[in-house]
Structure 1
Amino acid sequence: MNSLAEGDCLKALRRALEREDFQLEKFRTESLSDSPIGYMGRHLSLIATVRIGEARRDVRFFVKTPPASGSHLMYLDEMQHFQKELDVYETLVPIMTASLPKGYQLPVPRCFLVKGSSKAGNGEYRRITTEDLLILEDLKEKGYRMYDNMVPFDLEHCGSLMKSVALLHAPSILLQKTAMDRGKGDNFNYIDGTFRLARDTLLTNTGGKMQRLGVKSSVETMTAAVAGLWPDRFGSLNKKKELKERLWKAWEELSELSKPSRTYTNVLCHGDLWANNIMFKYDDEETSTPASVVLIDLQLARFAPAMTDLLIFFHMSTTRSFREEHMKNLAVTYHNHLREIVGKDLLDQLMPLTSFLDSMEEYGLFGKLVATDWLSFSLNSEDVAPMMEEGGSDGEPPDFVEKVLKDRGEEVLLNAAANEVYKTRIMESYRECLEHLNLWK
């Protein structure tokens, strides 16, 4: 288990306080909640007591460390999620921040310490160790909070989010221009390699054991759950066989969609944009309009068309009727915010509105299929039993390999029977995907 050293705490404090004239009296870590709140690592609170002159105060940080489970670490070694987040904060966030025009700020938590080099000497990711960690600002301490993931997003929160997503994507557009001005700018090749370490390993078929196991789990879970939810339509052996075969093909199609595009401009995408990875701050607790939006958990960042981020969010965090009424207009809102940041001429050159909206249709499968899998184990309420309930009380997450990478069809059906909201959300997601695949007949 990770042991945070005094030196780590001092480095984080110097960067957070932006001064040296303080004395660290003591520090401790504690779990953020009675149950785990993340899938890919331990999430802890670091409380440091410092004295500056005669004043004494506590400074709080948010700490992420790898899980302790052997099989979970093996999963992360192949999928590279934790290492990728280290690299995003250590290398890409400074580059992206520097590219933004004056007055704009990247909508991610401030990072005060990256411990453990994210890359091996040959430029590839090295093996993860339990001594690696990230120390970030404590957003909750600053008044940020999550949106209830069981409640679909409303129009106001979606509109506020579009600005932050545009801010995240804008540096890629600006860096693309800088590269083009130098006579380079190979966007398909991660802007001449700048974003190469943000290549996707989760949805793209890498040939790895864990990636393939994830697809197998997704296919078997949806097949079993769909057969149980609509036995008259999909309960027969022939129907289940047909469904399973089409889902395997769909995930192969998704693998191609997850790669950088040669048709649409690629940007550094968040990759996991849904309720639990978005934090809102409100100027007035009585108002429902967010004043600020920050995007957290960058472990699934990928270099791909911008629309993939929006589609994951909409299909994970809104209802189908909402999408039919508002999704296109919100995509235009996002595009307008992006234009304000990078300029009309550059955006018209690299991501014209017509092309951007065309990608919504071409990547339609992306959000629909991802949501069928991720929603099944992400939605959480008192009467829904997600695999997160089975982690340790010290913030240790449940073993992802044991709890998620398996046929979870029966668990989906039990949760659907226990909670009407879960049932409505998962059935809506399944049906929309089935219709897209021409399986709803």
Structure 2
Amino acid sequence: MLASSQCDKDDILSVKELNSIVQQSVKSIIDKEKLRSYVVSVKDLTTNGGNYLGTLQTVTITGKTEDGESKELRLFLKNIIHIEKEFTIVNASEAYQREGFFYRELFKYFEKIEDKYNIPVEERFNTVKGYSESNDEVIILEDVSYKGYKTGDRLKVVSLKFAELAIKELAKFHAMSFVIQNENPKYFENNIKPLRSVFKVNEQLKTHLRRSFDKAKETLDETAKLKLEFFFPKVIKKFQQCMVVEPDEAVCITHLDFRANNIMFQEIDGEAVKVVPVDYQLACFGCPVVDIIYFIFLGTDQEFRKNHMENLKDLYYCTFESFLSKFGIEAKEMYTKKQFEDDFREKLDFGLIMFIIVMPLLFARTDDVPELSVIENLAFNLDECYKDRLHGVVDDFIQWGYL
């Protein structure tokens, strides 16, 4: 839906497609840009199964400043969906507060430190510009689609180039925790370490786990079914160990939803050349390998993992090591390669768990995307491509001895 509104400087922005709180936030941005007259265009976007905690819109504002300069603002809005009464695994308000903190404060602190060390722009952690007008109702970002950024198809296996670029950005994101810890221990203790997981391990989650595992077993052979069922009693404990980490067990800021659909990319001749991670609503202080494992198992197939998983692990740690060195920090003093390898091996079966948990959402048919408010009664109408991906994941973990 597209709506336009012609406004003078003293008018109150009134576009019916924006709620009153969001209108005031957008108006504040317009005022900061000193636009005297302007036209506002709002377009609703379909999430197509890419976002379950918000509705998405773009806002284009074209106008002139008091001195006659023409200006155009392109905004991307993620508006909260209030579903916490029905969906209790994640509190939506808490998730929006978390993401607001990242865009209003933390990424600006990243930039301040990168400025201090004269890190070249092309070597910095890549983020989308966020506006301070973001609040508990809406996240407001620059709309980077006009710069050629887009999101991929959640049903498809990622390309190797995309995976390499994503893993490099992830390593930088994790490394910045250690940079902050080194630069400002007090800020780290007060603002990073307290970022506990927004996930709630409750009966609703346990019910969803049971139903997801039962769905997974439907297409497996008898041996694989038995192995998966024997594994199931360990799932809740393993989930808690990976997603709800105690502060003394955590290492750095983690994204916790680092999948292809949350990584925008630019491409040339059909190949990714630059990526920017988005969607920090679930981010918390945790273990970095969880993000790597999550990305690999939700975005690749068995053949890809066989050919590239070990190389991606090496790329991650090399990038982590190299990026920290730009700030005069030795990686081995913060998070050793051995600790990284031990954590990866210990938590690898988290990839199996999260694949099955997210499977009903990741592989939902595009014409039948479910709602989180009815997660306990999801119909599991999945695209047929999930079967091959599932069989490959289960087979991997049987071969590796986890099942």
Q: Which TM class, normalised by the smaller chain length?
A: 0.7 to 0.9
TM-score normalised per structure 1: 0.75
Q: How many angstroms does 1:48 deviate by?
A: 1.6
Question: Partner of 2:203: helix, strand, or coil?
Answer: helix
Relative distance call for 1:294 and 1:272 in structure 2 (3 A) is same
Task: Work out the CA distance in 1 between the residues paired with 2:322 and 2:31.
Answer: 35
1:107–1:2 distance in 2 versus 1, CA, 3 Å: same
CA contact (8 A) 2:77 2:141 kept: yes
Question: Is 1:280 matched with 2:265?
Answer: yes
Q: How does 1:30-49 map to 2 (within 5 A)?
A: 30-33=43-46, 37-49=50-62
Partner deviation per Cα, 1:255-292 (whole Å, 9 max, x = no partner): 0233446887611111101111011113xx315141x2
2:131 is the counterpart of 1:112: yes
Partner in structure 2 of residue 2 of structure 1? 19
Shift of 1:34: 8.5
Partner SS for 1:297: coil
For the residues of structure 1 that align with 2:309 and 2:329, how far apart are their CA atoms?
25
Give the TM-score normalised by structure 2.
Answer: 0.82
| 1:247–1:49 Cα change, 3 Å | same
Partner-residue secondary structure (3-state), 1:415:
coil
Counterpart in the other structure of 2:241: 256
CA distance in 1, matches of 2:172, 2:298: 21
Give the superposition deviation at 1:74. 6.4
Determine whether 1:192 maps to 2:193. Answer: no
1:262 and 1:148 mapped to 2: Cα distance?
35
Pairing partner for 2:390 from 409, 412, 426: 426
Q: Alignment partner for residue 379 of structure 1, among 363, 369, 387?
A: 363
Q: Distance in 2 between matches of 1:329 and 1:299?
A: 29
User: In the alignment, which residue of structure 1 is the partner of 2:376?
Assistant: 405
Give 1:223 shift. Answer: 1.8
CA distance 1:244–1:2, shift in 2 (3 Å): farther
In the alignment, the residues of structure 2 paired with residue 275 and residue 35 of structure 1 have an alpha-carbon distance, to the nearest angstrom, of 14
Do the aligned residues in 2 keep the contact of 1:11 with 1:113 (CA within 8 Å)? no
The answer (yes or no) to whether the contact 2:83–2:92 under 8 Å persists in 1 is no
1:50 counterpart SS class? strand
Partner of residue 287 from structure 2, selected from 297, 305, 308: 305
Instruction: Between 76-85 and 88-97, report the one with greater CA deviation.
Output: 76-85
Amino acid aligned to 1:223: D
25, 41, 47: which is aligned to 2:38? 25
Q: Does 1:80 align with 2:44?
A: no
Taking only the aligned residue pairs, the percentage that are identical comes to: 18
Instruction: Tell me what 2:206 maps to.
Output: 215
How far, CA to CA, are the matches of 1:63 and 1:354 in structure 2? Answer: 42
Following TM superposition, by how much is the alpha carbon of 1:215 offset from its aligned partner in structure 2, in angstroms? 2.8
Alignment-derived partner of residue 99 in structure 1: 113
1:64 to partner: Cα distance:
1.2
Distance 1:201 1:435, change over 3 A: farther
Question: Partner letter of residue 168 of structure 2?
Answer: K
Per-residue CA deviations over 1:296-340 (Å, capped at 9, x if unaligned) read 111110211211111100010011232233222212212222222
Amino acid in structure 2 at the alignment position of 1:286: D
Question: Is contact 2:262-2:278 (8 Å) kept?
Answer: yes
Q: Following the alignment from structure 2 to structure 1, what is the Cα–Cα distance between the partners of residues 290 and 350?
A: 7
Aligned partners of 2:59 and 2:75 also within 8 Å: yes
Alpha-carbon shift at residue 2 of structure 1 (Å): 2.9
Residue deviations 1:74-105 (CA, integer Å, cap 9, x gap): 66547822222122223322233323332254
In structure 2, the residue matched to 1:333 is 315
State the Cα RMSD in Å. Answer: 3.2
Per-residue deviation, residues 40-78 of structure 1 (Å, max 9, x unmatched): 011111122221455555422101111155735866547
Q: Structure 1 residues 57-66 or 72-81, which shifts more? A: 72-81
Range with greater deviation from structure 2 (29-38 or 361-370): 29-38
Picking from 320, 341, 345, the partner of 1:357 is 341
C-alpha deviation, 1:6, in angstroms: 4.9
Q: Does structure 1 conserve the Cα–Cα contact (< 8 Å) formed by 2:22 and 2:138?
A: no
Are the counterparts in 1 of residues 363 and 382 from structure 2 also a CA contact under 8 Å? no
Aligned length: 378
C-alpha distance in structure 2 between counterparts of 1:428 and 1:165, whole Å? 25
In the other structure, the counterpart of 1:90 is 104
Contact 1:166/1:334 (<8 A) preserved: yes
**1:43, 1:69 → 2: CA distance?**
16
* 1:370-425 residue CA offsets vs partner (Å, 9 max, x unmatched): 1111133212555x7331xxxxxxxxxx3x121x234x4x62xx535xx2x22211
Paired residue secondary structure (1:405): helix
Q: Which has the higher contact order (CA 8 A, sep 6+)?
A: 1
| Structure 1 residue 415 corresponds to structure 2 residue 382 | yes
* 1:62 lines up with 2:45 in the alignment: no
SS across alignment from 2:257: coil
Contact 1:24 1:50 in 2 (8 A): yes
Contact 1:75 1:401 (8 Å CA) reproduced: no
Amino acid at match of 2:349: L
SS at match of 1:194: helix
Tell me the amino acid that sits aligned with residue 268 of structure 1: I
8 Å CA contact 1:272–1:312 kept in 2: the answer is yes
Gap runs ≥5 in structure 1: 119-131, 186-190, 206-210, 388-397
The offset of 1:27, in angstroms, is 2.0
Q: Which amino acid aligns with 1:106?
A: F
Aligned equivalents of 1:386 and 1:5: distance in 2?
A: 26
For 2:331, the aligned partner's letter is: L
Aligned equivalents of 1:319 and 1:24: distance in 2? 52
What amino acid is aligned across from residue 382 of structure 2 in structure 1?
Answer: N
Higher mean C-alpha displacement, 3-12 vs 139-148: 3-12
CA distance in 2, matches of 1:231, 1:332: 34
Cα distance change, pair 193–432 in 1 and its aligned pair in 2 (3 A): farther
Q: Bigger CA drift: 92-101 or 330-339? A: 92-101
1:167-206 to 2 correspondence within 5 Å? 167-179=172-184, 191-202=188-199, 205=201
Q: Does 1:11 align with 2:28?
A: yes
